[in-house]
Amino acid sequence: MSLFAKPMYLLLALFALGLVGMILWLGSTLIRRYTRALFGQRAYMQLTAPLHKVSRWKNALLLASVAFVFIALAGPQWGIEITEAQGNFAQTVIAVDVSASMRAQDVKPTRLSNAKRMLQMLVTQLKEDRLGIIAFTSKAFIQCPITTDTQALNYFIASLQPNMLPVAGTSLAAPVELAAHMLKTYPGQKALILLTDGEDHTPQELAQAQTLAQQNGIRIIAVGIGSTAGALIPNQIDASGNVVEYKKDKSGKTVVSKLDETSLAQLAQATGGVYIAYTTPAQVAARIEQAVAGLDKSTSSTGRHTTYKNRYALPLWLALLCLVGYLLWPQRAQKR
């Protein structure tokens, strides 16, 4: 802790005191010189003898007033003050598919790599949103709670990896249900950004999740990443980045992962959202930003801040008292 918030004003105080002192000295010198010239040395001594002591006290009060003003400007501080900052934010959850199919390379270098690059752009653009991150396969897990901390969001986005969760498969219902749980305490219209190739291994659960989103005022922005023609899923890659083996099903057939736009479009439309086909990170981020514009905002705490109490008022009052004393002090000593 520094005793002064702006210590540079203390250096300026030295300059100001020197300047005021010089002005007072020059004024006194000129008065003495002209008085002596007009009335002579003896008359000067008789006229000014009662004034010398008074002048020293008045000058001291003036210099003290200037010093206290600069001390106040320097911001003397001691004692801790805790303030809570608040802001108005919309509430949005981002759900990212991390199943094995997101390793497909129909969107170079991989589907998931593109999704992460786009999300990092998006996080910097959604300044008025509190964001949370979900990773999902057939189950969904919270990676980052709803927050305004951009640094934390980028950290968790960077940590997303295919097959990072202990369960395989893909379920679109799972992230919708978890997002509804995360957003239920916030009023008004919220949003869920769903990034996936759309392959759903539990379509029978989708209708229930859709109803849950509607009941909780969640608008789903579905982003379909991949190609409808499909792509093979790398299962093993060597040190040079070349695919050694592709994923096979239980019968030994090579798995082809295709983008299911129909399910995603239906889910988005049913909740008043929009379906976005993945193109480039910048274009998709811009379209998502447009899609979430107009969401209801609520007042939320952005954290507590500890500051030191500014005690400028004390030296300012002392400066005022010294100035009043300077102005009201009589010009000559009283005769006894």
Q: What's 97's DSSP letter? A: E
How far apart, in whole angstroms, are the C-alpha atoms of residue 154 and residue 27? Answer: 66
Identify the pLDDT of residue 336.
43
How far apart, in whole angstroms, are the C-alpha atoms of residue 167 and residue 257? Answer: 18
Identify the pLDDT of residue 45.
63
Give pLDDT tens digits for 208-228.
888 989 999 999 999 999 998
pLDDT in tens, the chain (336 residues): 578 888 888 888 888 888 988 888 887 777 667 766 776 666 666 666 555 555 777 888 888 999 999 999 988 887 766 555 555 778 999 999 999 999 999 998 899 999 999 999 999 988 878 899 999 999 999 999 998 889 999 999 999 999 899 888 888 999 999 999 999 888 888 999 999 988 777 777 888 888 989 999 999 999 999 998 888 988 877 777 777 788 887 888 888 888 989 889 999 999 999 999 999 999 999 999 999 987 877 655 555 556 778 888 888 999 999 888 888 877 655 444
Give pLDDT tens digits for 128-157.
788 999 999 999 999 999 988 899 999 999
Q: What's 259's DSSP letter? A: -
pTM, two decimal places: 0.64
113 class by beta-carbon count within 10 Å (0-12 exposed, 13-18 middle, 19+ buried): middle
Contact 120, 59 (CB under 8 A): no
Outline which parts of the chain fall under CATH 3.40.50.410. 85-301
How far apart, in whole angstroms, are the C-alpha atoms of residue 103 and residue 108? Answer: 10
Task: Domain 85-301: give its CATH superfamily.
Answer: von Willebrand factor, type A domain (3.40.50.410)
Identify the pLDDT of residue 239.
75
Identify the pLDDT of residue 282.
93
What are the backbone dihedrals phi and psi of residue 111, each rounded to the nearest 5 degrees, phi first?
-60, -45
Name every residue whose Cβ is closer than 8 Å to that of residue 168 and which is 6 or more positions away in sequence. 99, 100, 137, 138
Give pLDDT tens digits for 260-280.
898 899 999 999 999 999 999
Report which of 163, 189, 3, 174 is spatially closest to residue 79, judged by C-alpha positions: 3
Identify the pLDDT of residue 235.
80
DSSP per position, 162-177: TT-SS--S--SHHHHH
Contact 190, 182 (CB under 8 A): no
How far apart, in whole angstroms, are the C-alpha atoms of residue 310 and residue 65? Answer: 19
